């Protein structure tokens, strides 16, 4: 492989990835793609997981991006996506990058607007998923016991 084919920074799904990373770990740098999804994409496309990201050609990068944008069309099961039954479209969608962050924030804002229990907890900065709060989750200036001045 010549140095002309090697790229130090590879852009995949809106994310700059170091060319020295191997393919398995490099794909996990994309927000919304974990180790399991990375392994599945590599296996589906028949790529070498230990190959360096810098040696990927544009065609392979496009194949990776298209598979990440719609994994169910490539034969992945419906439970493999990170947003099943999307509220807006009703489809099985796998979100990555800034789309994932935006939808997550909009979901939290929707809960706040509805004044749902989880939305109220989010608005107050408290634990949302039923954890105990008597001794954990303490943040801010009021930590410890305040004593009277003598």
| 144 band by pLDDT with thresholds 50, 70 and 90 | low
- 74 CB neighbour count, 10 Å cutoff: 15
The pLDDT value given to residue 149: 77
- Position 38 pLDDT exceeds 80: yes
- Position 48 pLDDT exceeds 70: yes
Report domain extents, the chain.
9-77
| 3 band by pLDDT with thresholds 50, 70 and 90 | low
Which range, of 9-13, 45-49, 90-94, 143-147, averages the lowest pLDDT?
143-147
Verdict on whether the full-model pTM lies above 0.75: yes
| 65 band by pLDDT with thresholds 50, 70 and 90 | very high
DSSP string, the chain: --TTT--SEEEETTEEEETTSBHHHHHTTSTT--HHHHHHHHHHHT--TTSBGGG--HHHHHHHHHHHH-TTTTT--GGGSSBSS-TTT-S-B---THHHHHHHHHHHHHHHHHT-HHHHHHHHT---SS---SSS---SS--S------
- Residues in the chain, how many? 150
The two tokens of residue 106 are 């909009």
The pLDDT value given to residue 136: 85
- Position 142 pLDDT exceeds 80: no
Say if CB 30 and CB 15 are below 8 A apart. yes
pLDDT one-digit tens code per residue, 80-132: 898 888 888 888 889 999 999 999 999 999 999 999 999 999 999 999 999 99
The closest alpha carbon to 83, from 99, 61, 62, belongs to 99
Q: What is the C-alpha separation between 89 and 64, in angstroms, rounded? A: 23
The pLDDT value given to residue 147: 73
For the chain, give the mean pLDDT.
90
Give me the CATH topology for the region 9-77. Helicase, Ruva Protein; domain 3 (1.10.8)
């Amino acid at each position: 492989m010549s140095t002309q084919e090697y790229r130090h920074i590879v852009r995949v799904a809106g994310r700059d990835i170091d060319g020295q990373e191997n393919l398995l770990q490099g794909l996990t740098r994309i927000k919304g793609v974990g180790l399991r999804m990375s392994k599945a994409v590599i296996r589906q496309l028949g790529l070498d997981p230990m190959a360096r990201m810098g040696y990927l050609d544009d065609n392979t990068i496009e194949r990776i991006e298209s598979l990440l944008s719609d994994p169910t069309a490539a034969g992945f099961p419906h439970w493999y996506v990170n947003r099943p039954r999307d509220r807006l479209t009703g489809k099985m969608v796998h979100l990555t990058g800034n789309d994932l962050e935006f939808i997550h924030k909009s979901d939290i804002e929707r809960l706040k607007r509805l004044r749902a229990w989880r939305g109220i907890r989010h608005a107050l900065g408290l634990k949302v998923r039923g954890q105990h709060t008597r001794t954990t989750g303490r943040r801010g200036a009021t930590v410890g016991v305040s004593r009277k001045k003598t």
